């Protein structure tokens, strides 16, 4: 039984001020909230969202102080120790997807394209690599390349930004059964051990078996996190996500997000005004 080590660079979380009276969504809140502790209300139309939300709140170090169900949905009041950073951790969407990379489609589309200055195309023989120093340049270059072969995923590899052409997702966060944080060497930093569901493990085995010596793309919230080359089929249903030497608290937050699944659609957040 083998585990696939995926280089997953945990991105910085968005930050902005959060006016007390205006409901916010992820990306609108964060470090602008300087209070050491926050009292917030989370509102969702789907009452089935209660348990996953309570689990998220608990795992990021918060406390649920009240739960109310109304005709409009469910409302949870939570106390977060750590201010805006804890709120950002709580509200991260957490949509994980795994894709086969369409190497042939990438080669055909990129070789035929007129790429602008600042975008680098490197032919490695078995695959092509397209990179740029910033994501905006790369996305702008790929936008005119309309292709039915898949979707472009863009992300950072730690030195520059890279894009891959990904086939439809073969696995998603719905295939995650459980996950935990493991402490490894200082070089690798904390890692997230992911165990897939039985159905997810079968799909992952098929994905890796059909893509030996090819890349698979791992995306988080629509951004490319890594694209490792599969060396052999992986049948154990286990993945290890490396944070690239990242922070232990961020690794725990990401594990909490993956453990409880994506946020419910239409979730609203309001800060409870303090004294």
Q: 83 forms bridges with which residues in the sheet?
A: none
List C-alpha distances in Å: 108 to 11, 105, 161, 162, 233: 31, 5, 21, 17, 27
pTM for this entry: 0.76
Query: Looking at residue 274, what is its pLDDT?
Result: 59
- What gap in Å lies between CA 49 and CA 182, rounded to an integer? 28
Query: Looking at residue 197, what is its pLDDT?
Result: 95
- CB of 238 within 8 A of CB of 1? yes
- What gap in Å lies between CA 266 and CA 264, rounded to an integer? 6
Q: Which residues contact 24 (CB under 8 A, 6 or more apart)?
A: 18, 268, 269, 270
Look at residues 29, 3, 37, 1 and name the one whose alpha carbon lies nearest to residue 184: 3
- What gap in Å lies between CA 250 and CA 85, rounded to an integer? 10
Torsion angle of alpha carbons 80, 81, 82, 87, nearest 10°? Answer: -10
Query: What DSSP assignment string belongs to the chain?
Result: --EEEEE-PPPPPP-----TTS-B-TTS-STT---SEEEEEEEES-GGGHHHHHHHHHHTTEEEEEEEEETTEEEEEEEEETTHHHHHHHH----EEEEEB-HHHHHHHHHHS-PPTTEEEEE-SS-EEEEESSHHHHHHHHTT---TT-EEEEEE-SSSEEEEEEPSPSEEGGGEEEEEEEE--TTT-EEEEEEE-HHHHHHHHHHHHTTBTSBEEEEETTEEEE-PBB-S---S-EEEEE-SS--HHHHHHHHHHHHH-SPPTT-EEEEPP--
Give me the residues of the chain with pLDDT under 50, please: 1-33
- What gap in Å lies between CA 92 and CA 253, rounded to an integer? 9
Query: Looking at residue 244, what is its pLDDT?
Result: 62
Query: Looking at residue 266, what is its pLDDT?
Result: 83
* Per-residue pLDDT tens over the stretch 115-170: 999 999 999 988 999 999 999 999 999 988 877 778 999 988 778 999 999 999 99
CA–CA–CA angle 188, 194, 91 (5° rounding):
90
């Amino acid at each position: 039984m083998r585990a696939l080590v995926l280089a997953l660079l945990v991105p910085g979380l968005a930050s902005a001020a959060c006016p007390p009276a205006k409901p916010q969504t992820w990306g609108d809140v964060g470090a602008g909230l300087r209070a050491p502790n926050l009292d917030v209300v989370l509102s969702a139309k789907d009452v089935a969202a209660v348990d996953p939300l309570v689990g998220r709140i608990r795992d990021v170090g918060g406390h649920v102080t009240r739960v109310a169900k109304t005709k409009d949905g469910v409302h949870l009041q939570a106390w977060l120790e750590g201010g805006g950073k804890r709120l950002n951790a709580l509200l991260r969407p957490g949509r994980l997807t795994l894709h086969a990379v369409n190497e042939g489609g990438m080669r055909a589309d990129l070789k035929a394209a007129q790429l602008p200055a600042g975008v680098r195309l490197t032919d490695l023989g078995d695959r092509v690599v397209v990179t740029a120093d910033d994501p905006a340049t790369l996305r702008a270059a790929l936008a005119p390349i309309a292709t039915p072969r898949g979707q472009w995923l863009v992300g950072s590899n730690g030195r520059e930004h890279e894009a891959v052409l990904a086939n439809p997702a073969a696995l998603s966060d719905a295939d995650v059964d459980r996950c935990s944080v493991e402490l490894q060497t200082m070089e690798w930093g904390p890692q997230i051990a992911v165990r897939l569901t039985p159905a997810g493990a079968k799909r992952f085995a098929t994905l890796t078996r059909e893509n030996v010596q090819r890349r698979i793309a791992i995306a988080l919230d629509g951004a490319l996190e890594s694209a490792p080359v599969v060396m052999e089929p992986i049948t154990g249903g286990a993945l290890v996500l490396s944070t690239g030497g990242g922070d232990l608290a961020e690794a725990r937050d990401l594990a909490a997000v993956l453990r409880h699944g994506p946020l419910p659609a239409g979730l609203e957040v309001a800060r409870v005004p303090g004294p």
